[in-house]
Structure 1
């Protein structure tokens, strides 16, 4: 046997095993092995080079696994399960079990989960000898299955039951179900140190699930035909995962997927200014919504805006149902103004007040009373002089133009299908879901913006020469300034969906120079594209796994900002020079000439990193 320090890549210990022994498991502390020999099953002290855990070997029929701390082990033989001490094999607790599913012990050895004859797993308190009741007992069929099923404990008395169909996680201490993961075919699983995440592996991917939001994984890593021998295991304070494939340990940086910036309470919305300097959030507090403007560069709060009360109907609620309030926010193209308010779906005739806020002077410019049909979307024109609204009428959606200074409605634009509203930076064109309106004339024209798919997001470049339209199939269609000619279609490069529904585009942004496009989806994916070549820039970025609501580039184009309900501000370095510096700092050196010939044979050698060292073996 050999022990390696993975961080330093050094072998730190080596020793021999008894002749004919086969290793089946290693203790969590890396000091003891479970060995199977012709004489039976036993524990091997690696440092001392001798048997431990009791004098006599266990029968070959025994199933042996370690407890959570490495100082205990579980033995199941027939209908008996025992918790024993590694040091001397002393039996610490004994109870019944059955089936092929191995029992599992919590880290403090206070709890053991095991299967009885049928039904769900049972949790046994080793101190009192009593069964701990809970909803896990009612997971019918778990204990009737095969050896693909697993029981696993995590921090805070969290218990996971893994089957071929997915995972169910309970909080044993609270006696309630925490999460159900749609993750079939799992071969390995492991809780993070604090029990917040669960990492799983199957034949195709490693996935990380946030247990407070288990509808989709927050991180996915394709194995590309690799076979995971062991892992994934958490390391470096929960920031990386390691797994063993063949004789190689692979380390995966989880980055933003496990960001500590995740908010326990869900903000109602987030939006960025097109120039990337500011972002605004909206969050409900009792009977009102609280709005705030912050700086993207340092997340410094700049303005707490006058709050807005939840809308009320002018008449008692009808058969259409109760009001469902939601905030609406829109920056002007230059970021000098922000329009915000609260609308509601439900009966017509509701009170809706929208405010235009001066972001530079940090004061209210004007307030518009838009009582009537519910406003479903807004856009703010250049310098904040015009507010564009989409309203849900009795029969269809229609659009309006409001002069913010005079507080007067200047135009009604029927048939724009304006559930989505995007205004060109020069205020010359208003884009809806399937129609365009020239401004100020209001002359409309039909346009299929997304090849028949439903439009989810749209954004103009800073000079208005390019329009990017994302749809619910995950594609993006590019258009010229007049939106009269398509400039290309970018395919869906988001990871394959866990279910049967493709990830829909919910946010797009064009870099200040018009050369780069960022595309965000409702499952939390972000893909970068090169506009000139219509080619993707790398794989999707790692995100916290929450649906992307807004994207923006910094004024210099070197940073991408991403906003989602649980993480309103996330930064990504998209400048190639800064990315190279980070990679070189992590690697310590660039490729040698010999390595360059192996991995980049079609290009001449370059010193990518300043500290690039040439190996003597290369002779160059």
Structure 2
């Protein structure tokens, strides 16, 4: 499972060089350009092959300051304390040369998205622009006191200069060097990083949140999808105080990446959903997209991250009134309005029935029946196989129950009603699930919970067992919290803010095992797999998913996040009938599908790798294990 979850897919390390090297990724993310006393070397990071190299006279005696690649990757600009030289990547020939202005401090010349215009900076202050194709210099010192940690950005057409940073967001129209107060004002509250979309029609600027702005008018664009009013960049403003930071659109404009020191985040632009949150081992200096890959530069190494979704998201319905999964993961119900409930086949993502009911919804454990309870009306049991109403009965005490659940055999419905909570006054009503006839009503102190497999006891949310026949407490307590019980009689309980989970057998005298410890996040939902060998836990916001091996009492792989858009697990958590998939439903009808079947995960990992390990790679990692082809077949 760890290999399946792992984002890193490949790494390329720049060969050793003489002296200090400056490195940068090409815009397509496929080439690493390295400059040192030895000259310029260009490597294809996918294959490791060197595709170009040439000497740069004078580098051994000058101070190397920086390197930049233009948008097409055809030109490389090398900056020293004395010169800016521009080179043709295909031939290694010198294209242009310009003396670097005198002064102290760091020097740089950056293309941004431009093909031929370089923003020339001294001590992080832009002093002028140089179009080396036209051999034209224009502009003046941008401003004193500017503090910028993202390189200046010139758009593809060379008509706009954007310089993110403190104390403000600078914009100049080119070649006139005139200010654009409208565009500056649009991004002044998010001034720390910026990027142009591939077509140049949108400027993204970022700080605590991300704004999309029309660079022609300075007007803020509505966020795509229309679901969100703002686009948070991170739980805290990572970009604000970062030493190295930047923003990048993917070539197709569908994704946006931000890097801030060690942090990397990627969002889908269409719905602003975060699809990657990653922490590198050191400070990231450059980030680029290449199809479904994201590459970042860390010192002398380019690491490739696979952006292929590990999670499949699908929306059953727009469900402002709620969503609920069946315990066996076959069905889901959504409530799109205040008078209907829609039944869905989860595996097929297909609507199968519209019921004239709304309110609470509870599935039988077998998934073949559904109980609906109207807020101000009766309880109704529906047969999901025949699509017909089985019975209708009034709510006990004429008020919505605080809990409803079926015994595992489906023969009895147990309803808990809270008459008052202070003082505690609960009623437990047993109903014949075949006829709707009331069997018994008892006074109890249990606010509701989870029935044991034999249906005789209720593990209550208040941390006690209760006798379903009498309503009385039984035995010792086990601690209040979120509950789940497997068909094998193993109970999982989690009630603290650190997300620790206790496992214990429900038989008399069953003692808790050592606590399962994972992400320090309060658990919101627990669910066992059909065989009881796996346990899934979903936390409160941000909604971390963890899968546990019940027998070994350990977590399988790392913590997973679906980067939930709404309330994680608000519609329930359930394994598929074969246990190979895990569904996490949000209250609004969005469902996340996770692969947990080992064989399927192995196939997906082999597909991502694209090849077997070599014998040398095998010995490096598994020296004591005989070599074999793990992806064969």
- Take 1:412 and 1:240, find their aligned partners in 2: how far apart are those partners? 60
Tell me if the contact between 1:205 and 1:221 (Cα under 8 Å) persists in the aligned partners.
Answer: yes
Q: Which residue of 2 aligns with 1:586?
A: 608
1:511 aligns with 529
Question: Deviation of residue 334 (structure 1)?
Answer: 0.8
Are residues 1:206 and 2:261 paired? no
Matched, 1:276 2:329: yes
Given the superposition, is the C-alpha separation of residues 7 and 364 from structure 1 closer, same or farther in structure 2, using an over 3 Å criterion?
farther
Query: Displacement of 1:599 after TM fit?
Result: 1.4
Show the counterpart of 1:170.
211
Aligned to 1:49: 92
- 1:65 maps to 2:107: no
CA distance in 1 between partners of 2:111 and 2:160 (Å):
13
Matched, 1:423 2:454: no
Is the 2:260–2:284 Cα contact (8 Å) retained in structure 1? no
How far 1:442 moved relative to its partner?
2.1
Counterpart CA distance in 1 for 2:195 and 2:419 is 50
| Inter-partner Cα distance in structure 2 for 1:487 and 1:275 | 26
Per-residue CA distance 1:296-336 (angstroms, 9 max, x = gap): 3222222223253xxxxxxxxxxxxxxxxxx6432211111
Question: Are residues 124 and 22 of structure 1, via their aligned partners in 2, closer, same or farther at CA, if it must alter by over 3 Å?
Answer: closer
Give the equivalent residue in structure 2 for 1:233.
288
Match of 1:543 in 2: 562
- The correspondence for 2:461, drawn from 433, 440, 443, is 433
Cα separation, partners in 2 of 1:365 and 1:9, compared to 1, 3 Å: farther
Q: State the aligned residue count.
A: 551
Secondary structure, counterpart of 2:415 in structure 1: strand
2:583 to 561, 565, 570: 561
- Quote the Cα distance in structure 1 between the aligned partners of 2:489 and 2:188: 60
Corresponding residue for residue 444 of structure 2: 414
Is 1:87 aligned to residue 133 of structure 2?
A: yes
CA distance in 2, matches of 1:373, 1:115: 59
Q: Which of residues 293, 313, 317 is equivalent to 2:343? A: 293
Cα distance, 1:221–1:249 mapped onto 2, change above 3 Å: same
2:154 and 2:555 map into 1 onto residues whose CA distance is 47
Cα–Cα, structure 1 residues 289 and 568, in superposed 2: closer, same or farther, change >3 Å?
A: farther
Change over 3 Å in CA distance of 1:486–1:206 after alignment to 2: farther
Unpaired segments of 5 or more residues in structure 2?
Answer: 1-39, 222-229
Q: Once the two structures are superposed, what CA deviation does each residue of 1:58-112 show, in whole Å capped at 9, x if it has no partner?
A: 4255653223354543345698665654533446888954513254345565654
1:215-614 alignment, distance < 5 Å: 218-223=275-280, 226-236=281-291, 239-256=292-309, 261=314, 268-283=321-336, 285=337, 288=338, 290-308=340-358, 328-341=360-373, 351=376, 354-370=379-395, 375-382=401-408, 383=410, 385-389=412-416, 391=418, 393=420, 395=422, 396=424, 398-401=426-429, 403=431, 405-406=435-436, 408=438, 410-418=440-448, 421-434=449-462, 435-445=464-474, 448-450=477-479, 455=481, 457-461=482-486, 463-471=487-495, 472-482=497-507, 485-494=510-519, 502-522=520-540, 523-546=542-565, 547-549=568-570, 550-565=572-587, 568-610=590-632
SS at match of 1:578: helix
User: Which residue of 39, 43, 68 corresponds with 1:4?
Assistant: 43
Deviation at residue 541 of structure 1 after TM alignment? 3.3
Residue 124 of structure 1: CA displacement? 4.9
Contact 1:553/1:561 (8 A) holds in 2? yes
Cα distance, 1:560 vs structure 2? 2.4
Give the Cα separation in 2 of the matches to 1:82 and 1:466.
71
Contact 2:78 2:85 in 1 (8 A): yes
TM-score (normalizing by structure 1): 0.75
Q: Deviations over 1:524-561 (max 9, x none)?
A: 32222111111221112353445234322222222223
C-alpha distance in 2, partners of 1:126/1:483? 80
Whether the 8 Å CA contact 2:584–2:592 is kept in 1: the answer is: yes
Q: Identify which of structures 1 and 2 has the higher relative contact order when contacts are C-alpha pairs closer than 8 Å and 6+ apart.
A: 2
Residue 139 of structure 1 aligns to a residue in which SS? Answer: coil
Q: Distance in 1 between matches of 2:345 and 2:141?
A: 59
Distance 1:251 1:532, change over 3 A: same
Q: What is the distance in 2 between the residues matched to 1:73 and 1:567?
A: 49
Residue 163 (structure 2) pairs with residue 121 (structure 1): no
TM-score by length of 2: 0.74
User: 1:153 and 1:413, CA in 2 relative to 1: closer, same or farther beyond 3 A?
Assistant: farther
Distance of 2:102 and 2:372 partners within structure 1: 71
> Quick check: 249-258 or 80-89, which moved more?
80-89
1:39 matched to which residue of 2?
82
Q: Counterparts of 2:419 and 2:274 in 1: how far apart (Å)?
A: 35
Distance 1:439 1:200, change over 3 A: same
Between stretches 8-17 and 468-477, larger displacement belongs to 8-17
Query: In structure 2, how many angstroms separate the alpha carbons of the residues matched to 1:264 and 1:119?
Result: 45
State the SS of the aligned residue for 2:118.
Answer: strand
User: Paired residue for 2:68, among 17, 21, 25?
Assistant: 25
Q: Deviations over 1:469-492 (max 9, x none)?
A: 233421221121347523424433
Q: Distance in 1 between matches of 2:301 and 2:184?
A: 41
1:315 corresponds to? none
Q: Is the 8 A contact 2:138 2:175 kept in 1?
A: no
CA distance in 1, matches of 2:68, 2:419: 63
SS in 2 for 1:132: helix
The answer to whether the Cα contact below 8 Å between 1:112 and 1:125 also exists between their aligned partners in 2 is yes
For 1:126 and 1:179, locate their aligned partners in 2 and report how far apart those are by CA, in whole Å. 31
Structure 1 stretches of 5 or more lacking a match? 143-148, 309-326, 344-350, 495-501, 612-620
Q: Per the alignment, in what secondary structure is the counterpart of residue 513 of structure 2?
A: strand
Q: What is the CA distance between 1:131 and its match in structure 2?
A: 2.5
Deviation, structure 1 residue 276: 2.4
- In the alignment, the residues of structure 1 paired with residue 98 and residue 323 of structure 2 have an alpha-carbon distance, to the nearest angstrom, of 64
1:243 Cα deviation from its structure 2 partner:
1.5
SS at match of 2:601: helix
What's 2:7 paired with?
none
- Cα contact 1:228–1:243 (8 A) shared by 2: no
